[in-house]
Amino acid sequence: MTRRQTVDEADLTRRLGAMSLKEKVTLLTGGDAWTLTPVVAAGLASLALSDGPVGPRGTTFGDTAAPALLFPSPSSLAAAWDEDTAYEAGRLMGLKARAMGIHVLLAPTVNLHRSPLGGRHFECYSEDPHLTARTTVGFIKGVQSTGVAATVKHFIGNDSETERMTYDARIDEKTLRETYLPPFEAAVREAGAWVVMAAYNSVNGKSMTENGELLDGLLKEEWGFDGVVVSDWQATKSTEDSALAGLDVVMPGPDGPWGAALLSAVEEGRVPEAVIDDKVRRILRLAARVGALNGVEAAHTMEGNDSTAGAASVPKDVRSRIRDLAVRGSVLLRNDGLLPLRTDTLRKVALIGPNAVRFTAQGGGSAHVTPEHIVTPLEGLRRELGDDVEITVRQGVFPHATLLPLDGNTSTDPVTGEPGVRLEYRTADGTVVSDEHKDPASTWFPLLLADEVAELVVRTRLTLRESGVHRLSVLGPGHFTLQVPGDEPQTHEQLQDNDDIGSLVLYPPSHTFAFSADHGTTEIQVRFRPQRHLPHPITLLGLGYDTPRGTDDEELEAAVAAASDADAVVLMVGSDAHTESESVDRTTLALRGRQDELVERVCAANPRTAVVVNAGAPFLLPWADRPGALLWSWFPGQEGGDAIADILTGTEPGGRLPTTFPTTEADVPVLSTQPVDGTLDYTEGDLIGYRAYSASGTDPLFPFGHGLSYTTWDYEDLVITGDMERGLTVRVTIRNAGERRGREVVQAYLDPVGDEPRRLVGFAAVEASASASVIATITVPAQALTVWTPVGRTARSGPHRLRVGRSAADLRLTAAVPRP
C-alpha cells in the first residue's frame, strides 16, 4: 500500500502572494553553491542540495566534508537487476540525507552507457533504457519515500564528458524517444521525480538550459512534470532565453546570469511575471514536499514491504545493508569450480595486485564522498579466513597515474605539531599575508585568493618510515618548487588548458616529484605560484605521497613467488578514481600499466587464482580464460572488502552485467566520445550495446545480462498472455538444478523484426532452493512494445517472438507474441 501527501496548492498561492518580485527572482538563483535563499515572508526555509549518486555528501566539498555513507556505484546497483534493491538503496540514501539536513539529493544519473569510454560510466546505470528505467524508478521512489527529493539527471544527451560544457548532441527524434528519453520519462511519469537537472550540453542546436522544446514542451507539458528544473552547476549562460525555456533554478549562486538581469527583464516586460511565478510555485511545491515550508510536514511514502518504512533515522544496520548491496551487484563472469573457496583446506593465501593494496571504492568527480572507513579486501579476507590462514600481500605492479593524498599520519604542521600542514599566503616579494593550519591534509583544497596573494607555501614535517626513493605529487595549475633539505630545488609548471572550473576541481593537473631520503623526519617546503589568468578566481592545491617501493619488475617477481607458494590466490586489478572520473573520458579500454602481464604470470604460477576486477566500466580482458574464476566487483562502496570476501567464500553473487563487455576495441559499436567541430553525432541511432552486437552478429567477450550463480538453472516452460496492444504477462518456469539455493535473473527480449534490433522488454529476479522450481513473472507494458513514428507511438508490426533466458546471448525459450 502507498500513502502520499498531496500539496495544498491554495496554500502555495497565498505564500506566493506574500513575496515581492525581488524576493521571487532572488530565490531562483542559489544563495551559495549548495543552498537556496530562505524567504521569511513565505515561510520558506533554505533548501539544501547535495550530490549524489553514491550517497549524500552534504553542503561542503573537499577536506571539510562531513563523514558520509559510501554506497556501491550506480552501475553496481543496476547489476542487481532488481527494482526492490534500487528502492532500498534510494531509501537508505534518503534517510542519510535527512539526517544531514539535505532536502534535495542530486541523483540518480540516468544517462546511458553509449560508449564504454564514457568518464562517468560508473555513475550511470546501464547501456539499456529499460534496465535503466526500472532501476531509476525504484531508486527515486526509495529516496522520495523519506521526504527527500531525487534529482534525475542530466537531461539530456550528456552521455560522455569530452567537451561536455559545449558540445551539441545531434540525436534524431526516434532515437531520443526510444533510447535516451525513456529513463527520464519513467522517472517523471511513474516515479514522480520532484527535480530534474538540465545538462551542460546542447541537443540539436539548443543548449539544454535554453531548450524550450524539451524543457517546457516535452518535460512539463507532455509529461506533466510539476517539479523543479535546476541547471547543472554553471551550465546557464543566458538570462531571457533560459528563463523563457522552462529552467527554474540557476546553480550555483549568488552570482549568475539571472539575479539583477532577470529582475530588469521582468520589470521591462521582456519576461512575463507569470513565468517567474510559475518557477517560484514549483520551488514552494518542492519545499512543501521536503518539509521546508513552515507548518507543512514532508511528504513521506511508505511501502508495505519496506522494513524501514516510517523510520526517521538511518537504521543501525546500514553498514550491513550497504555490504549486501555490493554483494547483489557483483558479477561472477567465469568459474571453473574454484569458487567458492574451500576455506577448510586453506593455509596460505596470496592477496596480489594494485587494487588489493590500493582498493578503489568509488569513481572520481562531484559524486565523491568521504566515509568514516573503507573496508579493504585484506580486512574482509582476514575476517572470513581467520587468523590461522597466512595472507601474503603483494602489489605486483604500480599502474596509477596519481598518488594517494598525503595524510595526517605522515605529515605534521611544523608550527602547531598537529597532523597536517602549514599553508602560507604570500605576496610577490615573499611577505606572508596570512597563514593557517590545514587538517586533515588528506585531500586537495580549493582556494579563493585575494589579488595581493601571488604565492602559496606549504610547509610540513614528513615522517619517513622507510629509506629510499620517496614520491610527492602536487595538484593544481601553476608553477611548483619542491625543497627537500640537502637537495637542489625541483621545479615543475603545469597549466589548465581550459576555463572549466569543474574540470579544475574534479580533474586537476598533477605532477610527481621524487626524492631520496633516509628513515626519519624531514621538513619539506612546496612553493606554488598559481595560474592567475583563468576567467575565475579559484585555484586548487593538493599534495600526494607514496613510500619507497620496488620497480615493477621487482614487484612482479615477488608477486609470482607469493602466488607459487599459496594454496589459493586472490588477484585484484582494475582502475581508480583518476582513470574513471567526471569531466574526462577514457581514451582506451586497456588496463593501465602492466596489469595484463601480472594476471598472465600469476595465473601461470598458480591456476587456483581468482581474479577480481575492481572497476566501474568495461576494460579489455585478453586473459579472461586464464584464471580459475573471474569476479567483477565494480566500485563497491565502503563495505566492498567484506562483500568481496563474502562472495569468494560462499555468498551467492547476485549480479548480471548491465552493459556489454567487448573482446576488442574494434568490436565496440560506439567507441569515440570526441565531438567533431563541436558536434557529437548519434548516427548509430539505437544500435548501442547489445542491440548492435545482436544486429551485427558480433560475439562480445561477456554479453549484456551475463552473470553466473553458484548453482545451475534449467529453463522449462514459457507462457505468454496479452498482446502487443495491451501489454504482456510472461510466466517462465525455471528449476534450480544445482545443490544449493540460488538467485536467477530471467530476462525477456523482443526478437528483431525487419531492421529493428533485439531489445530487452522485461526481467524478474527469483530465488529457489536446490531442485526446486519457481515461476518468474514478467510484466511487459504496452509502451515497451511500441515504435516511435512521426505521428507518435504505434504498436510494432508483427509477427513477433519473445525470447527468454540468462543473457542477451543465452536465450533458452521462445514463444510467439499473441496478436490482438
Partnered with residue 231 across adjacent β-strands are: 198
Terminal Cα distance for the chain, rounded: 32
Strands (E), 177-318: 195-198, 202-203, 206-207, 228-231
Q: Is 667 a catalytic residue?
A: no
Largest CA distance in the chain: 86
- Cα angle, residue 34 at apex, residues 28 and 37 outer, rounded to 5°: 40
Report cis status (omega within 30 of 0) of the bond before 254.
Answer: yes
Of 769, 781, 715, residue with least CA distance to 742? 769
d(CA 177, CA 155): 13
- Please name the residues in contact with 205: beta carbons below 8 A apart, sequence gap of 6 or more: 168
Catalytic residue among 63, 232, 546, 751, which? 232
* Cell, residue 131: 534496465
Report cis status (omega within 30 of 0) of the bond before 154.
Answer: yes
Q: Encode 432-489 in three state secondary structure.
A: EEEEEEECCCCCCEEEECCCCCCEEEEEEEEEECCCEEEEEEEECCEEEEEECCCCCC
d(CA 422, CA 460): 6
Provide φ and ψ at 667, rounded to 5°. -80, -15
- Please name the residues in contact with 424: beta carbons below 8 A apart, sequence gap of 6 or more: 432, 434, 435, 456, 457, 458, 459
- Please name the residues in contact with 336: beta carbons below 8 A apart, sequence gap of 6 or more: 628, 629
Of 50, 184, 168, residue with least CA distance to 111? 184
DSSP state of 700: P
Give the active site residues: 232
